[in-house]
Amino acid sequence: MAELKTVLITGASRGIGREVARLFALSGYRVAIHYHERADLAQTLYDELMGKGCETMTVGADIADASQVCGMVAAVEERLGGIDVLVNNAAISHYKLFDEITDEEWKNVFAVNVEGMFYCCRSVLPGMIRRKNGAIINISSIWGITGASCETAYSASKAAVIGLTRALAKEVGPSDVRVNCVAPGVIDTDMNALVDEEALLELKALTPLNRLGTARDIAQTVLFLASPAASFITGQVISPNGGLVI
């Protein structure tokens, strides 16, 4: 029987991260559910997955804090073993005009979306390189490719995620560690609740598949990139967006 693999998913208490955690758990992975503020949501997911016989744990951390990330990774490794897959999903956004973004908001977006990803990669890579096996999947956004009005900080941070992915893939590829990026299109999650309903309807109409994406759509892409079926794929940006951007 093949040994179970361990995955750490940041921002797994809700939205895309929650569905990624659920799908990995039901696919036979040991799953570490990371959360920052919503311990209650992480706990309900933990209870759900444990009830289905999955091996899982919750772990809280502010990923913008390097020391907390180190503690999080150590806790996961102690309980679930070496981390085979890292899914960098946690992110924040501010939907407002460019000249209304405060210095603090700009810095916070980059602290979570870029620096947090850097800290997580840096913490798990020594183990992956030592074992000569691992997969990192970074969640960017369609707006990291095209940019989005009133989401300048978010778009810029998600473009940085793409650059980090491509560079890191070249650096750690010789150690058989793969690094890829998923850039979702417009997905029906809490994060898009801030977007005007009329704007969402317009985006839906502009999408050739004529619907918004679901968290499940993205989770399935992430699971594929972590699997042996994607063993020759690294440094790539895959954008499940229904044809909105080709």
Please name which of 126, 138, 238, 137 lies closest in space to residue 175, comparing C-alpha atoms. 126
Per-residue burial over 87-111, b = 16 or more CB atoms within 10 Å of its CB, e = otherwise:
bbbbbbbbbeeeeebeeeebeebbb
Number of neighbours of residue 184 by Cβ within 10 angstroms: 25
Question: What is the edge-to-edge ordering of all strands in the sheet holding 177-182?
Answer: 56-60, 30-35, 6-9, 85-88, 134-139, 177-182, 237-238
Catalytic residue check, 154: yes
Please pick, among 35, 46, 119, 154, the residue that the annotation labels catalytic: 154
**Cα separations in angstroms, 47 against 16, 40, 51, 147:** 18, 11, 6, 38
The CA distance from 127 to 142, in Å, is 31
Q: Annotated catalytic sites, by residue?
A: 154
